[in-house]
Structure 1
Amino acid sequence: MKVIILAAGYGTRLFKDLKNDRNEQFKHLIGVPKPLLPIGERPLISYWVEALKVRDDISDIFVVTNNHYHHKFKEWAQKYPFVTLINDGTSSNEERLGAVSCLQLAIDKFQINDHVLVIGGDTLFYEDFHLHNVIGQFETIVKDNNYANLVLSYPCKDEETRKYGILETDENHKVTALREKPSPTDTASRQACPCFYVLSKDSLTCVQTFLDEKKNAPIEEKDAPGHLLSWLVGRNPVHVYPVSGRFDVGNLESYITCHKYFQQNIRNIPTYLQ
């Protein structure tokens, strides 16, 4: 299995919040890409890399960055020589390729023909999440169907459906639809879907097919990976693994919440996420 961590975003909402922070407590974070933000005792992305590196079934870890922040990731990666950085070549948010295109960039560059774990570089989970259990569940479903895929879901409030991709599922926890930021009256589901997907190797060609179909679409349709998932649901099986919640470091408020939680609650760092 390969891992692709999507870390090529520009963090525009967080950057705006930091510039407008009146007490200047967090001004030192200006210019730090979100995956490298200090969370508790280490950069956010390091929690993932530390948990992934001990797994025998993970053969490669790729991190897709942009050109603007590439030098910062190179400095970080000195501690992790087994991590491969991929520069998407863009230098501003206006030039961004979008998350799905970055995923395909990694697939193409390294001719990946294996199961792929896709992780959003600004996401962490609560302590009930364990890679061992999630990958074990994926291995079970892919034995029954080579085209099967696995995604996470967590409960959200009524007023939060407009912020997330919302999964609709059947009685067997198989996804029947993903609705991108629906109103609470448009769906009975309250299952939010974070950017954490386990894609089977037989589904990987779907990424390029999706991009080919969307080549003339606005960048937003190629940036939010939920659009890919919504498209994939109608073609290949997608199953759900439920967790209690996640940290989505999108703005200053969510960063502060996440940072404080890890300072106060994440004690056993060596086993977190494993």
Structure 2
Amino acid sequence: MKALLLAAGFGTRLRPITNTIPKCLVPINNKPLLQYWLENLTKVGITEFLINTHYLHKEVEKFVEQSIFKKQITLSYEKNLLNTGGTLLANKDFFNKDEPFMLIHADNFCFCDFNEFINSHKNSSYDLTMMLFRTKTPSSCGIVKLDENAIVKEFYEKVNNPPSNLANAAVYICNYKIFTFLESLNKKEIDFSLDVIPNYLGKINTFINNNYHIDIGTPETYAEAQNFII
């Protein structure tokens, strides 16, 4: 299985920390965030990684050059940001037609049983599996409502007074068939939450991460992540 690690964002909410270091490389307990993803996913059989870059891309390139995972990583620099779906579509040729792949916002700090996550997707009949977690700040997240089979039936992207605290972790497993839909949109910049997820309502398998997941997008959540003990 391959994985796309999205690492191109500006990390504006985390300034001044991200003035000189990209969000994907901020240290948590003295280890770059991206390093956690590479280590954890390699352990469960992810063999190749595609990392998109933009902001402070030279720093990411330097990190990869020095990484023990260097030979497993392909970098894709975006002169203009394409959003999640756009980046995915632009790198269609990286993925294998006959196997699912992971799509991950690498600015999250995440620990879970990734084997269970993978098996959840393989045991479903759907082309998309979404990781979920319970958030303390639901109005800042994409919130879901599930049916009796744990399939996403409603999705609320950063609204006031959302109906629950069950949030999209921005970690997905997709089947290659998703590219057919992405191509049908006929545009380069594709927002996954606004352009893709609404089309798949009633067809999104879910996996709840009951271990640990946090968006380190603010100084407060970044400080909280430093207290996590593996």
Could you tell me the TM-score, scaled by structure 1's length?
A: 0.74
| 1:161 paired to 2:138 | yes
| Aligned residue type for 1:38 | P
| Aligned residue type for 2:101 | V
Equivalent in 153, 157, 162 of residue 176 of structure 1: 153
Equivalent in 84, 95, 98 of residue 99 of structure 1: 84
1:111 Cα deviation after fit = 5.8
Q: Does the 8 Å CA contact 2:95/2:101 hold for their aligned counterparts?
A: no
Provide Cα deviations, 1:10-33, integer angstroms capped at 9, x if missing partner: 111212xx2xxxxxxx6xx53100
Summarize the alignment of residues 80-229 of structure 1 with structure 2, pairs less than 5 Å apart: 80-81=69-70, 82-90=72-80, 96-108=81-93, 110=94, 112-113=96-97, 114-126=99-111, 129-141=112-124, 145=125, 147-157=126-136, 160-184=137-161, 188-210=163-185, 212=186, 215=187, 222-223=190-191, 225-229=192-196
Q: Does the 8 Å CA contact 1:125/1:247 hold for their aligned counterparts?
A: yes
DSSP-derived class of the 2:217 partner: coil
* Cα distance in 1 for residues equivalent to 2:220 and 2:131: 24
When the two chains are superposed, the root-mean-square deviation of aligned CA atoms in Å is 2.2
Alpha carbons of structure 1 residues 204 and 32: separation in structure 2 relative to 1, 3 Å: same
* Cα distance in 2 for residues equivalent to 1:45 and 1:161: 25
| 1:64 paired to 2:47 | no
DSSP-derived class of the 1:76 partner: helix
Indicate the residue corresponding to 2:12 in structure 1: 12
Q: Which runs of 5+ in 2 are unaligned?
A: none
| Aligned residue type for 1:61 | F
Q: Which runs of 5+ in 1 are unaligned?
A: 19-25, 91-95, 267-274
* More strand as a share of residues: 2
- Aligned identity (percent) is 24
DSSP-derived class of the 1:135 partner: helix
Could you tell me the TM-score, scaled by structure 2's length?
A: 0.87
DSSP-derived class of the 2:104 partner: strand
Indicate the residue corresponding to 2:209 in structure 1: 243
* Cα distance in 2 for residues equivalent to 1:190 and 1:253: 19
The structure with the largest alpha-carbon Rg is 1
* Cα distance in 2 for residues equivalent to 1:197 and 1:74: 25
Q: Does the 8 Å CA contact 1:177/1:230 hold for their aligned counterparts?
A: no
DSSP-derived class of the 2:177 partner: helix
Q: Does the 8 Å CA contact 2:214/2:225 hold for their aligned counterparts?
A: yes
DSSP-derived class of the 1:35 partner: helix
